[in-house]
Amino acid sequence: TGTFSYTTYHTLEEIDEFIDLLVAENPNLVSKIEIGNSYEGRPLNVLKFSTGGSNRPAIWIDTGIHSREWVTQATGIWFAKKITEDYGQDETLTAILDSMDIFLEIVTNPDGFAYTHSSNRLWRKTRSINAGSSCVGVDPNRNWDAGFGLTGASSNPCSETYHGKSAFSEVEVKSVVDFVTNHGNIKAFISIHSYSQLLMYPYGYTATQATHQAELDEVAKAAVDNLASLYGTKYEYGSTITTIYQASGSSIDWTYNSGIKYSYTFELRDTGYYGFLLPAKQIIPTAQETWLGLITIMDYTLNHPY
């Protein structure tokens, strides 16, 4: 992984090779877990970073639930390498990994991601067939059991925000849900998207404030301040519904309602030049600055147990 190119976009096969290489190079720190298979049968790979102990409190990060948001998967690759480089070198990350595990799912929606490389670069959804419709796929970030089917998702299978026939109908979503539920000790859940430069916390499906709104807001502010300290990239932050729009059935609303207090969604660069087509030369700066936001949330999670 030392000669892997972090400045270009990669196919699913290349990402899978990277994952296997990283595991081989760091057998005492990194392992690969298969949490299920996608609709089309691809493995759902999660990297586990752990320094030992069983069922430690953990942090979940996913970087690719919407397949066309290529900078997120690329950022996930960079994070994985960064974690292996910084453990034992960086005080904050070392302290986190000495007490907690980190789970990283670089490609949450591999069918969609493969499809963006083979057929349609702008594909967002899963690739499941919808009975009675010629339109394929479900928005995997409208398929969670949190305000499922309410305003902020579409009941039309042809829509980009189609919520699916029922909550957790998508195997890519259900696999994460089962993993998180069975683990039972996930303390922070961070989902990474692009674009718009936002850091959001629950809720998206309701205007009701989260019980921990003040604390989540304070942590978000610290995270975006740290993120901006590198290149001056400005982020807005707040609850999903107040910051961007009403969105029902999203992952972090479900995780928060399931007891994971530190539930956040990032929307990475940019604010409106390239959108989902961010040039590859921006991958590393995007990842570097996002890491600062991420480490702020992870450090806070370590130091504020609940």
Q: Does 259 bind other proteins (CB under 8 A)?
A: no
**How far apart are the C-alpha atoms of 96 and 81, rounded to whole Å?**
16
Q: Does 17 bind other proteins (CB under 8 A)?
A: no
Q: Does 122 bind other proteins (CB under 8 A)?
A: yes
**Could you tell me if residue 137 is left (phi over 0), alpha (psi between -120 and 50 degrees) or otherwise beta?**
left
Closest distance between other proteins and the C-beta of residue 131, in Å? 20
Q: Does 277 bind other proteins (CB under 8 A)?
A: yes
Q: Does 158 bind other proteins (CB under 8 A)?
A: yes
Q: Using the rule CB under 8 A, which residue among 121, 214, 229, 306 binds other proteins? A: 121
Q: In this complex, which beta carbon is closest to other proteins, that of residue 195 or of residue 264? A: 195
Closest distance between other proteins and the C-beta of residue 283, in Å? 11
Q: Does 285 bind other proteins (CB under 8 A)?
A: no
Q: Does 33 bind other proteins (CB under 8 A)?
A: no
Q: Using the rule CB under 8 A, which residue among 72, 73, 161, 250 binds other proteins? A: 161
Closest distance between other proteins and the C-beta of residue 125, in Å? 12
Closest distance between other proteins and the C-beta of residue 217, in Å? 19
Q: In this complex, which beta carbon is closest to other proteins, that of residue 267 or of residue 289? A: 267
Q: Does 245 bind other proteins (CB under 8 A)?
A: yes
Question: How many CB atoms lie under 10 A from the CB of residue 211?
Answer: 11
105 sits in which H/E element: strand 101-105
Find how far residue 193's CA is from the centre of its chain.
Answer: 7
Q: In this complex, which beta carbon is closest to other proteins, that of residue 228 or of residue 280? A: 280
Q: Using the rule CB under 8 A, which residue among 21, 95, 222, 244 binds other proteins? A: 244
Q: Does 258 bind other proteins (CB under 8 A)?
A: no
Is 236 a residue of the active site?
A: no
Beta strands at 262-268 and 198-201: parallel, antiparallel or unpaired: antiparallel
3-state secondary structure 117-164: HHCCCCCCCCCCECCCCCCECCCCCCCCCCCCCCCCCECCCCCCCECC
The answer, yes or no, to whether the previous bond of 203 is cis (omega within 30 of 0) is yes
Q: Using the rule CB under 8 A, which residue among 276, 283, 298, 301 binds other proteins? A: 276
Token couple for 79: 């994070």
**How far apart are the C-alpha atoms of 103 and 206, rounded to whole Å?**
28
Closest CA to 16 of 42, 35, 48: 42
Residue 34: exposed, middle, or buried by beta-carbon count in 10 A (0-12, 13-18, 19+)?
Answer: exposed
Q: Does 207 bind other proteins (CB under 8 A)?
A: no
**Of the listed 69, 105, 172, 267, which one is catalytic?**
267
Q: Does 118 bind other proteins (CB under 8 A)?
A: yes
**How far apart are the C-alpha atoms of 181 and 217, rounded to whole Å?**
26
**How far apart are the C-alpha atoms of 235 and 281, rounded to whole Å?**
20
User: Would you name the residues annotated as active-site residues?
Assistant: 267
Residues contributing to the site for other proteins (CB under 8 A): 5, 8-9, 118-122, 158, 160-161, 195-196, 244-246, 272-277, 279-280
